[in-house]
Amino acid sequence: MSEGIDIRVVGRAGRITLNRPKALNALTYDMAMGIDAALRDWAGDDRVRVVVIDAEGDKAFCAGGDIQKLYETGKAGDFAFGQRFWRDEYRMNARLARFPKPIVSLMQGFVMGGGVGVGCHLSHRVVEGGTQIAMPECGIGLVPDVGGSLLLARAPGRLGAYLGLTAARMGPGDAIRAGFADFCIPRDRWAGLTAEIEESGDPACLAAAQVPDQEAPLAAEQAQIDRLFRGDLPEIMDRLEAAEGEFAAATLKAMRRNSPLAMAVTLAMLDRLAGVTDLREALRLEYRYTARSMEHGDFLEGIRAQIIDRDRNPQWREGPVDTAAAEAMLAPLSHELTFEEE
């Protein structure tokens, strides 16, 4: 049993509960590997007909990865630990997406970064009224990863670019519309539905329990998002600076806090992933950036400014942030990410 996670079989269901509520259930390496091992065991276990993933606490399903050790090892010049962390986490994300049995996620509160990787590539994704889903990686010098880039690439119009470059949070309605979730169900019904699924081995009861027609505030901004988020990063910034209105001003303010390199690479990734259906292709692309992010990107400085010193004043790398710079971070690696199934 990995610390911070409870893995067991109840009735016909494999049960995974993230259990670090004081840390907003931030995903450690051992937790990720615990999930991966459970999926390996349950894939061929006839007792397990369905998997249910949930989390303790009210504030978060999972607010991201546990990046303290990533920062410490990276500052010491050890880039191999981070590369192993991301490599093995991404393989776990792929296993979740390709699992041969239904998987249900019950996602309350914050669902960010690594939480998206655990909860949003599944067959049955449940949110509640207080759920807030986001991909905030550009604010720490990373790019939307754990397969989040593919979800963003599939979002309506240019919504994915907006979400990736601004780290905007989605409530339940926007999350469903953007393709990050399937059902909004009041949280006070989750325990009963989970018990029903454990007994039957069938998640079909979720559809009947959902609250339809959730408000999706970003839908009202879709036309503006599609107009503003065309082209490369300099074009988008120029368009936002010239635009009038509170939405454009707030969007520009959010983007100015983020790593220009990470935003440029995010746009390049979304362009490459247009029409892609295999999550593994997105994970390979993400890994090319994250494997380089400590040595050649802004990751360590972003963590310093946001998490370690908390001065909120990152000194991002200088130099032209153009298509060539972005493409260099996405060039093939000598140690490309691979998957067992290949």
Q: What amino acid positions are annotated as catalytic residues?
A: 65, 114, 137, 145
C-alpha–C-alpha distance, residues 273 and 258, integer Å: 22
* Of residues 65, 20, 28, 18, the one with CA closest to residue 303: 65
Both tokens of 280, joined, read 């593994």
C-alpha–C-alpha distance, residues 49 and 42, integer Å: 9
C-alpha–C-alpha distance, residues 253 and 83, integer Å: 32
| Distances in whole angstroms, Cα of residue 28 to Cα of each of 18, 77, 194, 239, 332 | 10, 20, 25, 40, 27
CB 170 within 8 A of CB 147: no
Provide the angle, in degrees to the nearest 10, between the axes of the packed helices 260-272 and 233-242. Answer: 110
Burial 56-95 (b: 16+ CB within 10 A, else e): bbeebbbbbbbbeebbebbeeeebebbbebbbebbbbbbb
Burial grade of 16 (CB within 10 A; 0-12, 13-18, 19 or more):
buried
What single DSSP character describes residue 138? G
Other CB atoms within 10 Å distance of the CB of residue 134: 25
CB 184 within 8 A of CB 210: yes
In one-letter notation, the amino acid at residue 126 is V
Both tokens of 318, joined, read 């200088």
C-alpha–C-alpha distance, residues 212 and 231, integer Å: 35
